[in-house]
Amino acid sequence: MAEATPVTEKTSAPAAGQRSVRSLLASLEIDTRLLGMIAATVVVWVVFNFASDGLFLSPRNLWNLSVQSAAVGIMTTGMVMIIVSRNIDLSIGSILAITALVMALLQTEWLPNALGLGLNSPFIWIIALVIGIALGALIGGLNGFLVAYAGIPSFVVTLGAMLIWRGASFGLVSGRTIGPLDLTFQLIGGGPKGSLGDSLSWLVAAIAIALIAYGLIASRRRRRRYGFPVRPVWADVTLGVVASLIVAGAVWVANSYPWPPGLAKEYAQAHGIPEPPGGLVIPTGIAIPVLIAIGLAVAMTFLANRRRFGRYVFAIGGNPEAAELAGINTKRTIMKTFVLMGMLAAAAAAVTSARLNAATNGLGTGIELQVIAAAVIGGTSFAGGIGTIAGGVLGAVVIQSLQSGMVLISVPTALQDIVIGIVLVAAVGFDTFVNRRKPGVR
Amino acid sequence: MFVRKSVALVAIAAVLVAACSNNAGSSSGPGSSSGTGTANCKVGVAWATSQEERYKLRDEPAVKGAVEAGGGTYLSGGDAQNKADIQATQIATLLASNINVLVINAVDPVAVLPSMQAAIDAGIPVIAYDRELENAKALFLTHDNVLVGHMIADAVTKVQPTGNYVIIKGDKTQTNPIFLRNGMEEVLKPLTDSGAIKIVAEEFTPDWKAEAAQTEMENILTAHPDVNAVLSENDNMATGVTAALGGNADGKVKIGGQDGDTFALNRVALGTQVVSVWKNSIELGQAAGKAALELCKNPDITKVTGAKASKTAGGLDSYSLLLNPVPITKDNLQVVLDANWITKDVLCKGVTAGSVAGC
Amino acid sequence: MTAAAVTAIQAPLVEMRNISVSFGGVRAVHDVTIDLRPGEVIGLVGGNGAGKSTLMRALSGAHKADSGEILIDGNVVTIANPRDAKALAIETIYQTLALADNLSAPDNMFLGRELVSGVGSLDDSAMESATRNVMGRLNPNFKAFTQPVRRLSGGQRQAVAIARAVHFNARIIIMDEPTAALGPAETAQVRNLIRQLKNEGIGIFLVSHDIHDVFDLSDRISVMYHGRLVDTVNKADVQPDDVLGMIILGKKPGEVTKSELDSLR
C-alpha cells in the first residue's frame, strides 16, 4: 500500500535555499565513513606523488600498487565479517602458507608424478587451485567448529592454529622453496601475461558501468514502487557518472602501463607483427589478481548486504542474544565465517605464490596484522556489528600505498614503521572524532 | 609455633641444598668433563632458526649424525626464531639438561654473551657455530659472513663492472645483514668511488621474506627502471627479486645471493642468477659434531684437530676451524653435485642439456 | 455441538501446568500452573528473583522447561526454542527489547524471518514497506526507517519491539516490563495499545513491577514468590494491599495477620 506522497525523511536538511555539504551528502545518501576513507586515500596519494616527483601516480606504480594490495585486500573481505561478528582470526598467514605450499607441491611434484601428467599439463593449475581452496575451507572449518560449537574464544583458537599450521608448513617442506610453478597457474599472479590487455579491460569496464547504471535504475524503480522517498534525479545521475568515471579512469590507467620493451619485442617477433619505431606498445590492462580481488570484494559485499547470512553476521555482532532469541542459528553462522575466511586465505595464497612463482614456508608471516589493520582503518569496529567490505579493501590500499610510497621516495627504514604507525592511529582517531559529532536522527 | 616454623625452614633448606648439590655434582662441574669419554658425551645445540632449508635438511642432520656416530647424544635447544631472548631461554634449558658441550648458532653476537658466559662458568666448552659471537673462549666454527658478502659482490661485479646496483638486505633487527653489507662494501667501494657503479637503492626486508623482497624490488624499479645488478643477502629474497623482474629469463639483470637454496641453484644453472654463495653446511655440521666429541674428551679448545689461532671480528685472540664458503656460479655447479647437496634433476630442471657444465 | 467444539470453546488459550525450571542447581520455578484466556491480560507479579521472567522464558522458547506441560488451545506442545514459540503465534517483548542496535527498524522487525525475493536475496524494500505499515498504526510519527535502532529514543525502540509482536499476528503476547524505561506519554501509549490488543482477542502475559499498571490493565493477577505460585486472583476481588502482601510475604490475602500487614506500611 503506497503512501500518498513520498515524504522526505531528511529532517536535518535545512530549509530550501540553504545548501550545506551535509545536506548534499544526505541527498546522495553516501556513507560518510566511506567518503572519509576515499578522501584519506586521495590525500596519501597526492602527498606521495608530490614527494616522488610524479612517480607515485604513474601508470606503472598504480598498476603495481593494485597487484601488491590484492592478497591483503582479498583476505580483508573475510576478516571484516569475522570482526563484525565479534571474533578474530590470527591464523590466516599460516593458512596462506600451508595452502600455498600444498598447491605448489601439487603443481611441481605430486600431480606431474602421481598422475603421470608431466609438468605444465593443461588441468594441473585448476586441480591444484581447487584442492588448495578446499584445504583452506577445511582448516577454516576446524577453527570455526572450535569457536562456535566448542565455545573456545577465537583469539585462543586462531592463535593455536597460527602456530600449528606454520609448524606444519615447515614440516611439510623442511624449509625448501618450491618452484617454479605451473605456467598457467602463474597467470593468477599478474605480470604482463597475467593481465587482460586493453580490449578485455575495456569490456570489463563496460560491464561494470552497465551494472552501476542498472543498479541505480533498479533501486530507484523499486523505491518508487513502494512509495519510498527517492534520491533527486540529479543525485542519481551524478553518482552514476562519478562512479563510471572512476571505473573508466582506473581501466585507462591500467591500459596506459605498457609491457616491458623486451617482452613486447619477443611478442612482436613471435606473432610476425612489424614493429613501429620505438617498439611495439602493448597495453597491460587489468591484472588478473586485481580482477579476482575486485570480484571477491563485490561478491562478499553482496553476501554481507543482500543475503540472510550477512544479515545474521551483523545481527550477531550487534546483539548476540537478540540474534539467538530471533531464532537465528548463531553457531552455524559463526562457523561459516571461519570457513569463508579459510577459503579467502587460500585464494590469497594462490595470488601470492603465483606472483612469486614459488612457495616458501615463511609466506604470509605477519600478514594477519596487516589484514586486521586494513579492516579497522576501513571502519570495522572490534565492538562488533559495524564494518564495510569496501572500507576494508580501501584500508588495504591505503596501507600498501604507504609502504610502497615510502620505498619509492627512499624513506629511511626506521622512519617507515614510525610513519605507518602514526597514520594508523590518526586515521582511526579521525574517524572516531568525526562520528562522535554526528547528529542524532537524520 | 616457633618450633613448627623452624622445622619447616630447615626442611626447605635441606631440599634446596640437595637439589643444588645434585646439579653441581653432575658432569657439568668444572673439570668434570675431562675423562668423560665420547660415550655419554651429551652435545647441546642452540639453533638460531629452523626456518631455512639448510638448517633442517643439512646442518642439523650433519651435527646429529657426527655426534651419534661417535657414540654421543645429541640434544637440540629448539628453534629460536631468530630472536635473542628466546635463544637465551633455550640455552638456559640446555644447561639445565646436563650437557657436556654447548654449540651455539648465535642469533645476536652480543646478546648471547651472558648465556655463553654461564656455560663457561659451568665448565662447559662452547663452540660458536656459523655465526659470530664476541668471546675469545669459544671455538669458532664458522663461515665468515663478511667474506660471504664479499664473494656475492665479487662474483656479480666481475660480470657487471658498471651500472646501477640495488642491494636487498635482510631483517633490520639482526646483525648478519650488517656483516654481509660490510663484505659487499669491500668490493663495491673502489667501484662506487670511481663512479663505475651507482647504488641506486638499498632496503632492509622484514623477516628476509621473499614476497616482501618482491614488493620492494617492484617499487624500486618504478623509481629506477634501469637496474643492472641486484645484490641480495640471501637466496630467499633473490627469489622475490627474480619474480619482480618478471623472471629475468634472459639473465639481463645480474643477481647474486647466498645459501645454496635448491631453487636458486637451479636459477644459476638456467642463467637467471649469477651466483649463490654456498656454505657446505653438511661439512660444517660434521666438523662441529666431531669437534664437540673431542671437547668432551678434552675441553681445551686449542687442542681440537685443525683449530688455528685467529681473531674474532672484534679483534680478540681466539681459535677457529674456518671453512670457506664457495661461490657457486654456472662454471662450478659440479661442486654442489659432488657434495650431494642437490640432485641433478632438481639442479637441471628446465636446463638445456649441455648448456652448462654439470647439466 | 460436538464434544470437540465444546472443548475448543472452553479451553484456555495457554495453559502452563506444573512447570519447573532450574539452572545452576537452583530451582527458579517450582511446579507452577497458570493459564490465559483469549482477550485477557494476566498480570504476572512478584519480587526480584520470584521466577516470573523465567516462567515466561519457558513459554517464549528462550529456556526450555525441565518438567511440566504447556498446552495451546488445549493441545500439548513442545517449545524447545524461540522458533517453536513463534510458530505457535507466541511473541515476546523482552525487558531488554532484544533489538540489534546496529540494524534498522525493518531489519529488527524481520530478524530471523526475513522476506526474500525469488533468488533468496533479502527483499529490504518489502520489509521496509511492511514496517512502515505496522509502525503507522502504532506510532504515526515514526520516520526513522533507515537508521540503526541505537539512534532512536527509548519509546521508539519499544514501539519497534511491540510492532514486531503485532505484525506477525501473535495470539499470545508476553510483555516483560514494557513501561519500565518509558516516560508518562509513552507509557500511556503502551497502555492504550494493550487495551487495543485485548479487544482483538489477543491474550497477554504482563510481567510488571508497577502495581498501578497491573491493576489498570489486568483481568487476573498471578503472584509468584521464590519460584512458586502464591495464587491467581481476579482483579475485581482484591485490593492492591492484598497483592502487595502476596508479593512480599508470599501469603494469600486471608492468611496475612494484621501485624504483618501493618509492618508493610
Hey, what amino acid is at A180? P
Beta bridge partners of B128: B104, B140
In this model, does residue B310 exceed pLDDT 80?
no
Q: Are the CB atoms for A292 and A74 separated by under 8 Å?
A: yes
How close, in Å, is residue A311 to chain B by CA atoms? 36
**CB within 8 Å of C192: residues ≥ 6 apart:** none
Number of H helices, E strands in chain A: 18, 0
In this model, does residue A126 exceed pLDDT 90?
yes
Q: What is the average pLDDT value for chain A, to the nearest integer?
A: 88
Beta bridge partners of C26: C23
- What would the pLDDT profile of A49-104 be if each residue is shown by its tens digit? 999 999 999 999 999 999 999 999 999 999 999 999 999 999 999 999 999 999 99
Which pLDDT score is estimated for B229? 97
Peptide bond into A180 cis (omega under 30): yes
The alpha carbon of B147 is separated from its chain's Cα centroid by a whole number of angstroms, namely: 13
Q: What is the mean pLDDT of residues C3-32?
A: 79
Residue A307 phi, psi (nearest 5): -120, 155
Give me the percent of chain B exceeding a pLDDT of 70. 87
Q: What is the mean pLDDT of residues B250-269?
A: 93
Secondary element (H or E) of residue B269? helix B262-270
In chain B, which among 261-280 make CB contacts under 8 A with chain A?
261-264
DSSP string, B286-333: HHHHHHHHHHHH---GGGSTT-EEEE-TT--EEEE-----EEE-TT-T
Q: What is the mean pLDDT of residues C100-107?
A: 95
Q: B and C: touch, per 3+ CB pairs < 8 A?
A: no
Q: What is the mean pLDDT of residues B298-304?
A: 84
> Is pTM, for the whole model, over 0.90?
no
Which pLDDT score is estimated for B4? 60
Q: Are the CB atoms for A238 and A30 separated by under 8 Å?
A: no
CB contact under 8 A, C113 and A385: no
How close, in Å, is residue C151 to chain A by CA atoms? 6
A229 at the C interface (CB within 8 A)?
Answer: no
In this model, does residue A44 exceed pLDDT 60?
yes
Taking contacts as CB-CB distances below 8 angstroms, the residues of chain A near C103 are 311, 314-315, 318
A402 at the B interface (CB within 8 A)?
Answer: no
Range from A357-371, C7-21, C248-262 carrying the lowest mean pLDDT? C248-262
- What would the pLDDT profile of C26-53 be if each residue is shown by its tens digit? 889 999 999 999 999 999 998 888 889 8
In this model, does residue A38 exceed pLDDT 90?
no
10 Å CB burial of residue A69 (0-12, 13-18, 19+) is buried
Kindly state the cell numbers that stand for A218.
533498479
CB contact under 8 A, A226 and C128: yes
CB contact under 8 A, A314 and C116: no
Range from A209-223, B7-21, B217-231, B314-328 carrying the lowest mean pLDDT? B7-21
DSSP state of A228: -
Taking the CA atoms of residue A13, residue A15, residue A16 and residue A18 in that order, the dihedral angle to the nearest 10 degrees is -80
Which pLDDT score is estimated for B29? 38
Q: A and B: touch, per 3+ CB pairs < 8 A?
A: yes
**CB within 8 Å of B51: residues ≥ 6 apart:** A170, A175, A361, A362, B79, B81, B82
Give the β-pairing of C14-23 and C26-36: antiparallel
Taking contacts as CB-CB distances below 8 angstroms, the residues of chain C near A227 are 129
Measure CB to CB from residue B222 to each of A170, A364, A408 and give the nearest one. Answer: A408
Which pLDDT score is estimated for B30? 41
In this model, does residue B18 exceed pLDDT 50?
no
